Copies of this chain bind each other. A is one copy, B any other.
Amino acid sequence: MAPAYIVFVGTFVHLPRSTSKTLAIQQGALWVSAADGRIKGTDWTVITVGDLHDLLKEKSWIPEDAPRYKSGTRVKIVRAREEYNEFFFPGFIDTHIHAPQYPNNGLFGSTTLLDWLKQYTFPMEASFGSSLPNIPSPKAFRVYNQVVSRTLANGTTFASYFATIHVSATNLLATLCQKRGQRALIGRVCMDNPDFSESYYIDPSTEESVELNKEVISYIQSIDPQGTMIKPIITPRFALTCTPKAMRGLADLAASYEPPLHIQTHISENKQEIHDVHCQFPSAKSYADVYDTYGLLTPRTILAHGVHLSPDEQDLIHNRGAKVSHCPASNSALGSGICPVRKLLDKGITVGLGTDVSGGYSPSILEAVRQACLVSRLLRHVEPASEGDEGKRLVLSVEEALYLATRGGAAAVNMENDIGGFDDGMLFDAQLIHLGRFLPANRYSSGESQVDVFGWETWEEKIHKWVWSGNDRNVKGVWVGGKLVHGEDDVEYGSRSSWWTWLLSAGVVGVGAVVAFRRLRL
């Protein structure tokens, strides 16, 4: 029988919503409704198997595979095993990723943004076109399936995707995300400016640059009317690729829905790009002002990069309630610069992390966490006025970077009440991290995990080790809305099996006790 609840038992680590400074590390049980995927309760007194048994008894819960005649509410039990240094962590939120660029991961040579776009990116994206209307190319199927697979395997439970200009391939990406169980914003890329775009990869006209989105929006709303898993996002590529008329049309299109649609684009990534934007829009006060002029800066807008924003632009973005996606791996790989995240946070701007595949070379938000920490430590050398204490203040701690990867990302996609943490009522989008057993004293190991835990580490230190040495090998299971969407075969079965072992041994002890009791009576 299908379980009504999934009870997760073990260590839970997340960032409290109120602070990005400290990890909240709790041991106990947390249960999720199978019906709506939301956290319905927690009990932080559940430590031993006996405690869990008491909880089940108190709630009249029985394991999903208990004999049929047993009465009670069926539950599935999933354990993070202490002896393997396992813990649950909120799923990562990737606020900026280009799905079709995935095959180019690691291929950028020594280029910077504008030549990289023309040399690597546009040819790849253009190849997602199909000669048959409404039928996506096999390449789109192959690549998009792999992107969703890789990001899920790296613990990404929510992604804000840029697709290509092609309607059918974009719709396919939406379908795949829904089928595979990854929450996503799906955007058809809009680019209609022939001055920047290549003739082989451009929207047919300014009108169609706007109109074609309606096909994607209505398709997505037809397969997911509530937008539980998949929502459309309006996606003008960036100022240089879009005419003013298209930008205005796209802003109006987003605003014409209730609630208004999300919007995503790029801003202030590269100095040459900024210079070119000033040339293309001479009357605009700034790059941010271009978007603001055409109505694209909204509380539901995600701006990728924001490396070189002026204080005025930061104020404008904050005033409009737009969000920033920080993509440190990409910014280093393309030599764009270092985004001063602390300054954006000081202004009150909401910041999430993005992989920016394939400007970024990795589909992993954990890599983005590492890179966010690393580049923030170099900021003191970039901004001459920030030596000494000011330089220190610019540093992002591991905890803060993890906050950006979860709570920050959730707020960037306007879902801060739904995902990013383990608060009561939130959707259970989570990953089970497996560090492995403590290193034995008398053997060496170069096995499954690169994270070496010796046994004397605190939980905080184990989390730091995971951040700096972990990768997809440590992701044992991924759940979205309480549903397993990626994992080793035994991640849920194993829990049942150990539950049965416990039941069996409890049974043996019980029978033994009854026998002993009878004997005493005789």
Task: Chain B residues near A110: list those with CB within 8 A.
Answer: 377, 392, 395, 397
- Do A106 and B375 have beta carbons less than 8 Å apart? no
Q: How far is the CA of A395 from the CA of B54 in the complex (A)?
A: 62
A450 CB–B CB distance under 8 Å: yes
- Do B452 and A105 have beta carbons less than 8 Å apart? yes
A199 CB–B CB distance under 8 Å: no
Q: How far is the CA of A107 from the CA of B469 in the complex (A)?
A: 11
- Do B374 and A464 have beta carbons less than 8 Å apart? no
| B-contact 0/1 string along A433-454, CB 8 Å cutoff | 0000001011111100011101
- Do A378 and B146 have beta carbons less than 8 Å apart? no
Task: Chain B residues near A152: list those with CB within 8 A.
Answer: 446
Q: Out of B143, B338, B445, which one reaches A146, CB within 8 Å?
A: B445
A380 CB–B CB distance under 8 Å: yes
Task: Chain B residues near A521: list those with CB within 8 A.
Answer: none
- Do A150 and B461 have beta carbons less than 8 Å apart? no
Q: How far is the CA of A438 from the CA of B150 in the complex (A)?
A: 15
- Do A471 and B471 have beta carbons less than 8 Å apart? yes
- Do B446 and A150 have beta carbons less than 8 Å apart? yes
Closest to A462 in B: B106
- Do B149 and A381 have beta carbons less than 8 Å apart? no
Task: Give the distance to chain B from A108, nearest Cβ to Cβ, in Å.
Answer: 8
Task: Chain B residues near A149: list those with CB within 8 A.
Answer: 444-446
Q: How far is the CA of A194 from the CA of B400 in the complex (A)?
A: 37
Task: Give the distance to chain B from A457, nearest Cβ to Cβ, in Å.
Answer: 8
Task: Chain B residues near A441: list those with CB within 8 A.
Answer: 138, 142
A334 CB–B CB distance under 8 Å: yes
| B-contact 0/1 string along A392-405, CB 8 Å cutoff | 10010110000000
- Do B375 and A332 have beta carbons less than 8 Å apart? yes
A103 CB–B CB distance under 8 Å: yes
A237 CB–B CB distance under 8 Å: no
A33 CB–B CB distance under 8 Å: no
- Do A381 and B469 have beta carbons less than 8 Å apart? no
A473 CB–B CB distance under 8 Å: yes
- Do A107 and B464 have beta carbons less than 8 Å apart? yes
Q: Out of B378, B446, B454, which one reaches A153, CB within 8 Å?
A: B446
Q: How far is the CA of A444 from the CA of B141 in the complex (A)?
A: 10
- Do A146 and B444 have beta carbons less than 8 Å apart? yes
- Do A382 and B380 have beta carbons less than 8 Å apart? no
Q: How far is the CA of A143 from the CA of B442 in the complex (A)?
A: 10
| B-contact 0/1 string along A10-36, CB 8 Å cutoff | 000000000000000000000000000
A148 CB–B CB distance under 8 Å: yes
Number of interface residues of A (CB under 8 A): 65
Task: Chain B residues near A443: list those with CB within 8 A.
Answer: 145
Q: How far is the CA of A180 from the CA of B520 in the complex (A)?
A: 62
Task: Give the distance to chain B from A517, nearest Cβ to Cβ, in Å.
Answer: 48
Q: How far is the CA of A392 from the CA of B138 in the complex (A)?
A: 38
- Do A377 and B444 have beta carbons less than 8 Å apart? no
A128 CB–B CB distance under 8 Å: no
Q: How far is the CA of A378 from the CA of B270 in the complex (A)?
A: 12
A337 CB–B CB distance under 8 Å: yes
A468 CB–B CB distance under 8 Å: yes
Task: Chain B residues near A450: list those with CB within 8 A.
Answer: 150, 471-472
- Do A468 and B105 have beta carbons less than 8 Å apart? yes
Q: Out of B103, B333, B446, which one reaches A374, CB within 8 Å?
A: B333
Q: Out of B141, B335, B375, B465, which one reaches A105, CB within 8 Å?
A: B465
A287 CB–B CB distance under 8 Å: no
A362 CB–B CB distance under 8 Å: yes
- Do A332 and B446 have beta carbons less than 8 Å apart? no
Q: How far is the CA of A145 from the CA of B143 in the complex (A)?
A: 42
Q: How far is the CA of A482 from the CA of B249 in the complex (A)?
A: 66
A261 CB–B CB distance under 8 Å: no
A361 CB–B CB distance under 8 Å: yes
- Do A472 and B446 have beta carbons less than 8 Å apart? yes
| B-contact 0/1 string along A227-268, CB 8 Å cutoff | 000000000000000000000000000000000000000000
Q: How far is the CA of A142 from the CA of B398 in the complex (A)?
A: 28
Task: Give the distance to chain B from A142, nearest Cβ to Cβ, in Å.
Answer: 5
Indicate whether A442 sits within 8 Å of B378 (C-beta atoms), given known contacts A105-B452, A452-B103: no
Q: How far is the CA of A117 from the CA of B452 in the complex (A)?
A: 21
Closest to A144 in B: B444
Q: How far is the CA of A387 from the CA of B275 in the complex (A)?
A: 14
A98 CB–B CB distance under 8 Å: no
Task: Give the distance to chain B from A398, nearest Cβ to Cβ, in Å.
Answer: 8
Shortest 3 CB-CB contacts between residues of A and residues of B: A106-B468, A153-B446, A335-B377
What are 25 A-B contacts with C-beta separation under 8 Å? A102-B452, A103-B452, A103-B454, A105-B465, A105-B468, A106-B451, A106-B467, A106-B469, A107-B464, A109-B398, A142-B441, A142-B442, A143-B454, A145-B444, A146-B445, A148-B444, A149-B444, A149-B445, A333-B374, A362-B469, A371-B374, A446-B472, A450-B471, A450-B472, A473-B473
Since A110-B395, A332-B378 are in contact, a sample of 10 more A-B pairs with Cβ atoms closer than 8 Å, ordered by chain A residue number, is A109-B464, A138-B441, A142-B439, A150-B446, A332-B377, A333-B374, A334-B377, A362-B469, A446-B486, A473-B473
